[in-house]
Structure 1
Amino acid sequence: MHNLSLLLATILFVCLGCTPFTEREKYKNEEFTAIESVVNEYLKIYRLPELLDQTNYPGLPPLPKPSIDTIDAKVYLSDALMPLAQTKEDDESTYQPDKANSFDVVYKTLMASSTFSELGYREFEKKAITLQKPFRQIYRPNKDIKEEEQYSEIKLSRVCFNDNLNCGMLYLWFGQGSNYATTSHTTLVLIEKKKDKWIIVDETYNRGRK
């Protein structure tokens, strides 16, 4: 009986001891999945239309219409996930959701959560991110980009999820240009999990975009 009690106590101790670790790993796995979805959707929204828009000029031979299969769009993705609280402190102007927007209360609820303030810096395995065509990752912009060649760059924060892990927000920096000149913007992105897939439901940058 003593041995049985000792065995049960050991099993209980191990299970309880593993629970926080399991929850942390579950959070990180969901965070990775959300990041992969956000990166692909953001590139599709802000970069793909430009790549597919081919302008022909009078007097010059028409250029072939680009397609997903003929474009090689390079992307540099930072593997450093910034603490959300730090991005809010450094870029307060981005953290001003429109009070008239229906998602304003959702942003505020997530920002008021303990998760928002407690999420710390971490790095993730960016090589495991799968980008959809025509995008592909580069890892050394100074060497992998030719002179004046265009590429996209994305930096992200940690993802603040709600308790059910079906809604979240993150801070995103998006840049587009060459090694010599880059235009960029920052935004808050609100995401929801629908049918086991993370989708962007709102963002604070360029809300007037159709």
Structure 2
Amino acid sequence: MTSDLIRVLIVDDQALVRGGFRILVDNAPDMAVVGEASDGAEAVELARLNRPDVVLMDVQMPGTDGLEATRQIVADPDLTGARVLILTTFDLDEYVIEALDIGASGFLLKNTDPPQLLHGIRVVAGGEALLSPGLTQRLIAQLARRPGPSQPSVQFFDQLTEREREVVDLVAQGMSNAEIAGLLFIGQTTVKTHVSRALTKLGARDRAQLVALAYRHGLTTPP
């Protein structure tokens, strides 16, 4: 296995699902499966053993679930290079916000087309967050139906400049760097700089966690 391959750990309690993902990933010329886990505890153990670049993580599993496994992987200082990509269904949307909040780098629906899944792995492995626009919009709609916080702590974002707050707001709405650049009439490199500075100032792991923070602290209001 060459060092430039994207190392993928597959986590799902269904052997048939894991097998399908393994065939798909192993057939990609720039990827290789380094392990399979059937529950969260095994996922954490294999992540520490095999140091994957990307962990494809199911949420609902017997024993240690995907959320707890994600929390442990993200918190492990020896696994700073591992990115967790949540695979979910619409019924599991309520778990996705928590997953992003604890450090998952993105999420995809389980019925995503194979090319999109491989693209998602590459995006996350490259250090970017993967926020599926369609699923993001459904999450926002679901948040809008929930009782809001009595005192949204917008002050949490006081350390950001006005432009950085604006960019974070647009990120939370599911917009890409290119879309934000077009809307604000600025370059994509400038957008990346604003996002990077916001990450540093807020202590967020990545772009995905900015979304959870924006909704948790009331910077972005669900439509």
**TM-score normalized by structure 1?**
0.23
**TM-score normalized by structure 2?**
0.22
Greater share of residues in helix: 2
Greater share of residues in strand: 1
